[in-house]
Amino acid sequence: MTDAQLQITPRLARVLMSEEAIYGLILVSGMIVVSGSVIGTSVNAFLTVAVTVVVFYIAHVYAGTLGRLAATDGRSGMRRSLRAAARQSAGMLVASAGPLVVLLLGVTEVIDDTFAIWTALVMCAVILGILGWLAVAKWTHHWYTRLLSATITAGFGGAIILLKAIIHH
């Protein structure tokens, strides 16, 4: 699977191939588990995930801005540093959109709460696997290397799904 096969723009591909996107999906998965262990509704999961992702995004942008200013002794300027940090951190927001939409389907009762929560978790793991595959596909054509990367990346989501299963049983 390549960017062209997924029909995504180079800019979106850059955002999704970032460490922030992968970290964001792992964060979303963890927050779904934590929110579900308290109340277990998609409303709670949606609000917990949305607020947490926004707070982490803002914190990441702030840290990135300070880091850029420090690395350039302030020569990069506040606005340029802020824009660069916001652009770099965008993957966290973009990657969380799919699972949040699924949770919103549970909130609006289009689908059952439990199904929404589990589907959002599985979606995170699947997206992680796809991102792992695509990231490695940028530098190798060997399917086994891509598969290993996809498996490892999806494994982070799988570990959190396992955690949810253990917590709730």
Structure token pair of residue 127: 């997206």
pLDDT at 169 over 70: no
Mean pLDDT of the chain: 86
Q: pLDDT of 18-48, one tens digit each?
A: 888 888 898 898 888 888 665 678 898 999 9
pTM for this model (two decimals) = 0.81
pLDDT at 3 over 60: no
* Residue 129 CB partners (closer than 8 Å, separation 6+): 150, 151, 153, 154, 157
Can you tell me the distance from the alpha carbon of 101 to that of 122, in angstroms, rounded to the nearest whole number?
13
Q: What is the 3-state secondary structure (H, E, C) of the chain?
A: CCHHHHCCCHHHHHHHCCHHHHHHHHHHHHHHHHHHHHCCCHHHHHHHHHHHHHHHHHHHHHHHHHHHHHHCCCCCCHHHHHHHHHHHHHHHHHHHHHHHHHHHHHHCCCCCHHHHHHHHHHHHHHHHHHHHHHHHHCCCCCHHHHHHHHHHHHHHHHHHHHHHHHHCC
* More confidently predicted of 88 and 36: 88
Q: pLDDT of 94-131, one tens digit each?
A: 999 999 999 999 999 999 988 999 999 999 999 999 88
Structure token pair of residue 168: 């709730």
Averaged pLDDT for residues 60-80? 93
Amino acid at position 95, single letter: A
- Report percent pLDDT > 90 for the chain: 49
Contact 106, 117 (CB under 8 A): yes
pLDDT score at 36: 67
- Sign of the dihedral defined by the CA atoms of residues 164, 33, 92, 5, in that order: positive
Can you tell me the distance from the alpha carbon of 61 to that of 141, in angstroms, rounded to the nearest whole number?
34
pLDDT at 7 over 80: no
